[in-house]
Amino acid sequence: MRSAVAFTFVLLLMYLSGNSYCATYDDSVNLMDKVLDGYDARQRPVLDQSHGIVVSMGFYLLTIQDFDEVAEKFSAYGLLYMTWSDQVITWDPKDYGDAHSALFKLSDVWYPKLVLTNPYSKLSDLGDDWMIVRIYNSGYTSFVPGAVFDASCSVDVTYYPFDTQTCSLAFNTWGYVGTEVYLIPFMEEVDTTHFTKNGEWTLNSTSVTRIPGGLYTSDTIYFNFSIKRKPMFLIINVILPIIFMAVINMLVFLLPAESGERVSYSVTVLLALAVFMTLVGDNLPKTSEPMPVLSYYLMILLALSTLMTVTTILNLRLCFKKGQVPACVRSLYRILYCFPCRFRKKKFLKINQVYPIDGKNKNKIPVVTVDNSAKDEPEITWQDISVAVDWVALVVFLLGTIIVNAVFLVILAENKDVAFNKN
């Protein structure tokens, strides 16, 4: 029973397919010759030229090829789907072997000459001569050109590398005004059904915007893309090394002056920070508005590293200086190390073991004397001053580094809605 039903179903499909399209080669040639006879691809295919032609548009995003923030270039590969009604090319399918549609060479028929109005390099129309157009017997026409679209995009790197960018592909009809060709999006968003993910960027959202034209301007369709950077690579390879170098830079004040390596150590870390600042600058657009927060952060760390190097050099000069320390410097050193508390003179009462005899009362009265012996204060040298400067500099620069990192994190935290959820 089941095999009989299946066999009947197959026969039905064969019958329907045979009656749906049975045009021969001659039918197709006659169809092409007939509908193109007297057809002028330079004119809009409307019988009343005072009326406009409606072109419906949609964009199928396949992948994000590249986003170059330095060159401010956005590249996306996709298909632009366009449909319109050609009132000139129509036919009765019964006259041509029940052919309901036909393929035409792009140059043989009229099509809306769309141009990308925000190109990165050059302005050109969309569509090559090898592409084809499918036209149905009712005049319904579909054209699906595909290309890699390179568009210029304004970049906002304020919160780099936690930034979100919004780029657009803007299309309009070259030479036609808004009353002649109407561009209408048939979707509110870009179709991402077959979208392939990018390793550097995440596609947040898409939208479609129409700017109507007028008597002297053409309609414009904007396909908008909101993309968010994946920051993990930059965090591991840029941010964390910079923080580590800022921490180990302060250890120069714990390095003994006698080792002779303090200046070279400090200069090496300073140069490493300068190299990382150059690497970050190479990955950012050459513009001053807006400046990324990361650039200010690196500049402050570089300034702190420079001050550490200068402090180290001056402190080494103090360490190997000869002569007596001035009184004012000694006073500061005493206050810092609380010398008055540690080495002030203490008086002790001492009871002597000599007991003079009172002649009248015959009583023994002990003799009380004062012992003025005290611990002597050590001599303060330039080496002692150098050690004190090291500890003071270590505390000051440690606090400065902590404050700079805290402010950097607070700025990102306060603007997390902008940095991470910008649309």
Looking up residue 196, the CATH number of its domain turns out to be 2.70.170.10
Assess contact for 45 and 53: CB atoms under 8 A. yes
Q: How many CB atoms lie within 10 A of CB 86?
A: 23
* Distance (Å, whole) CA 270 – CA 249: 8
For the chain, how many structural domains are there in total? Answer: 2
221 forms beta bridges with 171, 210
* Distance (Å, whole) CA 386 – CA 399: 20
For residues 241 and 220, membership in a common domain is answered with no
353: in domain: no
Q: Annotate the chain with three-state secondary structure.
A: CHHHHHHHHHHHHHHHHHHHCCCCHHHHHHHHHHHHCCCCCCCCCCCCCCCCEEEEEEEEEEEEEEEECCCCEEEEEEEEEEEEECCCCCCCHHHHCCCCEEEEEHHHCCCCCEEECCECCCCCECCCCCCEEEEECCCEEEECCEEEEEEECCCCCCCCCCCEEEEEEEEEECCCCCCCEEEEECCCCCECCCCECCCCEEEEEEEEEEECCCCCCCCEEEEEEEEEECCHHHHHHHHHHHHHHHHHHHHHHHCCHHHCCHHHHHHHHHHHHHHHHHHHHHCCCCCCCCCCHHHHHHHHHHHHHHHHHHHHHHHHHHHCCCCCCCHHHHHHHHHHHCHHHHHCCCCEEEECCCCCECCCCCCECCCEEEECCCCCCCCCCHHHHHHHHHHHHHHHHHHHHHHHHHHHHHHHHHCHHHHHHCC
360: in domain: no
For residues 284 and 218, membership in a common domain is answered with no
Q: Which of 203, 230, 257 is the last residue of a domain?
A: 230
Residue 13: per-residue pLDDT:
37
* Distance (Å, whole) CA 237 – CA 233: 6
Task: With CA atoms as reference, report the closest residue to 114 among 211, 48, 179, 183.
Answer: 183
For residues 62 and 209, membership in a common domain is answered with yes
Q: How many CB atoms lie within 10 A of CB 390?
A: 22
Residues 6+ apart with CB under 8 A from 309: 263, 266, 267, 270
For residues 102 and 220, membership in a common domain is answered with yes
- Using CA of residue 401, residue 407, residue 413, residue 417, what is the dihedral sign? negative
Residue 363: per-residue pLDDT:
55
Domain that holds residue 106: 28-230
Residue 416: per-residue pLDDT:
57
* Distance (Å, whole) CA 37 – CA 35: 6
168 forms beta bridges with 224
For residues 216 and 249, membership in a common domain is answered with no
For residues 224 and 243, membership in a common domain is answered with no
For residues 208 and 266, membership in a common domain is answered with no
394: in domain: yes
Does the reported pTM lie above 0.85?
no
365: in domain: no
172: in domain: yes
58 forms beta bridges with 81
For residues 85 and 196, membership in a common domain is answered with yes
For residues 183 and 65, membership in a common domain is answered with yes
Task: With CA atoms as reference, report the closest residue to 389 among 302, 306, 313.
Answer: 313
State the maximum Cα–Cα separation within the chain, in Å, rounded to a whole number: 162
Burial of 143 per CB tally in 10 Å (0-12, 13-18, 19+): buried
19: in domain: no
What tokens were used for 210? 């129409």
208: in domain: yes
What tokens were used for 137? 């017997």
Residue 3: per-residue pLDDT:
43
Residue 115: per-residue pLDDT:
92
Q: In this structure, are strands 53-68 and 181-185 parallel, antiparallel, or unpaired?
A: parallel
Q: Which of 230, 252, 277 is the last residue of a domain?
A: 230
Q: Which of 179, 212, 230 is the last residue of a domain?
A: 230
Question: CATH number of the domain that 303 lies in?
Answer: 1.20.58.390
Assess contact for 60 and 142: CB atoms under 8 A. no
For residues 226 and 238, membership in a common domain is answered with no
298: in domain: yes
pLDDT in tens, the chain (423 residues): 444 433 333 333 333 344 445 578 888 888 888 989 889 988 999 999 889 999 999 999 999 998 988 888 999 999 999 999 999 999 999 988 889 999 999 989 999 989 999 999 888 788 788 889 999 999 999 999 989 999 999 888 888 888 889 999 999 998 898 889 999 998 899 999 999 998 889 999 999 999 998 888 899 999 999 999 888 888 888 888 888 888 888 888 888 877 778 888 888 888 888 888 888 777 777 766 778 888 888 889 889 988 988 888 888 887 777 777 777 767 777 777 665 555 454 444 444 455 555 555 555 555 555 455 445 556 777 777 778 888 888 889 999 988 988 888 788 766 655 544 544
For residues 75 and 106, membership in a common domain is answered with yes
* Distance (Å, whole) CA 243 – CA 283: 19
102 forms beta bridges with 135
Residue 315: per-residue pLDDT:
84
For residues 204 and 306, membership in a common domain is answered with no
Tokens 């392939």: give the residue.
Answer: 196
* Distance (Å, whole) CA 52 – CA 45: 10
